[in-house]
Every structure is written in structure tokens, then in C-alpha cells.
Amino acid sequence: MGRIKLSILDIGMMLQDQTATEALAHTVRFVQLAEELGYTRYWFAEHHNAGNQISPSPALLIAHAAAHTKTIRVGAGGIMLPNHSPLKVAEDFALLAAMHPGRIDLGIGRAPGTDGLTALALRRSREAVYQYDFPENLDELLHYFQRDFPPEHPFARINFSPSSELPNIFMLGSSNGGVQFAANKGLGFAFAAHMAPDIAVSTLRHYKETFQPSNWFAAPHGIYSISIITAETEEEAHYLARPAQLFWARIFSGTPIGNFPTLEEAHAHTFTLAEEHAATRMKNAMLFGTPVQIAEQLERVTVEAGVDEVMVLSFYPTVESRVNGTRLLAESFSLK
């Protein structure tokens, strides 16, 4: 089972008994653990107006994590491009790549990753909130990195970063919207099966079949991202998964999310009809079971999707269960 590469996506979720400082300290230890166990990359998501998450700035988290590790790739999963100027993103990630050569990834998202009011506060312009200019902004971002603006373009005169180091660039997707940008421009592509499991395989296969080689990637590089809970026994994995099931049911049913549920809260909770419906609809968005059961499922889905890398989004309810699950998964795939 060693063919599959494993990576980690961290959305900066705080447990109920954690301060932000404690959560950041645990994050550094998890990145170091992932490096020790042989995981390929560790990405940070971007979310705003979320009191239970410490992930408003992936670039800062990347700098912090990379400074405390030596070999693992560290990146953004991703930068929500509508919230930022392309120049600022290019400058930040060129600088990160110069700090940590050969280790920085830049995943690009098309959505704001937040609500409309927060998007307005981030962008400071109602016109920017309602204008869809992602294709132009992506082109601009890539031109900065490649230093190939047409001579007549006004931004061609901008003296971009002196760093010759560049990040690896991926498009993110949870629908059919981002895949063609990745395929047409020769970028990597990470699909969030934890958000849209039913179309993950077909979308990744379409990416592989329509990919056009580029300076970024000579061959397609697809990543299947999925939420996973694993433990020594199937019963324990089911027990540990209950808080994550409640968390996602609240998100997709539109009920207040609040803090990430504790084990006690989740097992005492009676799902509403809306939460039950959401949980049923998203039943394939999370895998839970023993390492052998998880490995068998991932072997099958990666063959179907035509990828060799899985990015794990883990919603363990305790620090101890996350450490244990991260180790068990690595051992089942013989990463080291």
C-alpha cells in the first residue's frame, strides 16, 4: 500500500479547551509529526469570520510551520484569490519560496471562503465583491511569477520580487468550476471530496484527461482530499467521528455551527431532521474505520480518480486521538 502519497490539510480548528496560542503550538507539533512520519505536504486553509478557527492567513502559518520543519512541503490550501490582490499573493509566496526553497505550495481558490459582509470588509469595495474577475486575476498572478507580462501591459513595469524561487501552484476545487483552469494552464489540482464526494472521481479524471503540460507541471498532478478518522478498532473510529459528523451536519443544514463539538456533546446530541438529511447527503464525505479499512477505500478511489496523492482533512475531537490517527494512517501506507 505504499504507492499512495499522503498529505494533510489543516483548517485551523480549535478544540473547545484550547486558546489560540495553544492551538498554534499543537499545529507546529503536528507539522513536525507529519514530517517525521513521511507525509508529503501540509497545507493550511483560509477562513474568515470563524471564531473557532485560527486560519485567516495561510501565508503566516506557512512561514511559522516551515521555520519549525526541514523537509516537508508546506503550503496554502488555499489562498482565496478574490480576497487578495494578485501582486500581494505573488510577493508573499515568492518570499516564502526564497525562505524555504523547494518546499512551498500555493493552492488557489476561486471563492471568498467567507460570508458576504466579511468579503466586503476584506476587499473594501462593493464592486469587487460582486464582480467576477477570477480569470483575469489568475492570469495576472501567473504573469508575475513567470515575469512574462506583455510589454504593453501596465504591470509589466512593476519590479517583481528578486527571488528566483517559485512555489508549486495548484487550483482547488469542490465543483466543476476550477478544474478547467488547472487543466488549461498546466497547474496541479486538488479536489475537496470532503465537500463534494459524488463528483470527486469524475472531476479528477477530467483534469487528468484534459491536462496541458506547462512550466508548472509537465504531467497532471491531482490530489484527492477527504476527511478521515481512524483508530485501532472500527468501534473507536465511529465513536471518534461523531463530533465531526455533527459539525458537518450543522454546516450543510444551515444550523448554527458554534465551537467544534466535544465527544460528550456530540454523543448526547439528537440530530434534527435537517441535520439528519445533511448527514445522509454527505455520508461519503468522511471515511472512518481501522487503518486497513481506510487504506482499502483509498486504494480503490485513487485508482478510479487517476491520482496517487490523498490529502487528509482530520477532525479528531482530541489532540491524542489526532496524533494516534495520524500515526496509524502513516503506518498503514508505509510512508517511511
pLDDT tens-place string over residues 32-89: 999 999 999 999 999 888 878 898 899 999 999 999 999 999 999 999 999 999 999 9
For domain 5-224+286-332, give the CATH number. Answer: 3.20.20.30
Gap between the Cα atoms of 174 and 109, Å rounded = 10
Could you give phi then psi for residue 319, rounded to 5 degrees? -60, -40
* Cα 73 from Cα 196, distance rounded (Å): 26
Which three cell numbers mark 107?
Answer: 493552492
Instruction: For residue range 100-142, list pLDDT tens digits in order.
Output: 999 999 999 998 777 778 778 876 566 555 667 899 999 999 9
Domain boundaries, the chain: 5-224+286-332
Q: Which residues have CB under 8 Å from 150's CB, separation 6+?
A: 156
For the cut 80, the answer to whether the pLDDT of residue 23 exceeds it is yes
Q: How far apart are CA 193 and CA 323, in angstroms?
A: 23
Integer Cα distance of 65 and 60 in angstroms:
9
Long-range contacts of 63-67 (CB under 8 A, 24+ apart): 63/96, 63/99, 64/24, 64/28, 65/27, 65/28, 65/31, 66/96, 66/99, 66/100, 66/103, 66/104, 67/99
Q: Please give the Cα distance from 224 to 307 (Å, whole number).
A: 7
User: Cα(94)–Cα(43) distance, rounded to whole angstroms?
Assistant: 17
pLDDT in tens, 215-252: 999 999 999 999 999 999 999 999 999 999 998 888 88
Model confidence pTM above 0.85 = yes
Give me 113's grid cell.
471562503
SS3 category, 128:
helix
CA-to-CA distance for 233 and 107, rounded, in angstroms? 34
Residue-averaged pLDDT of the chain: 92
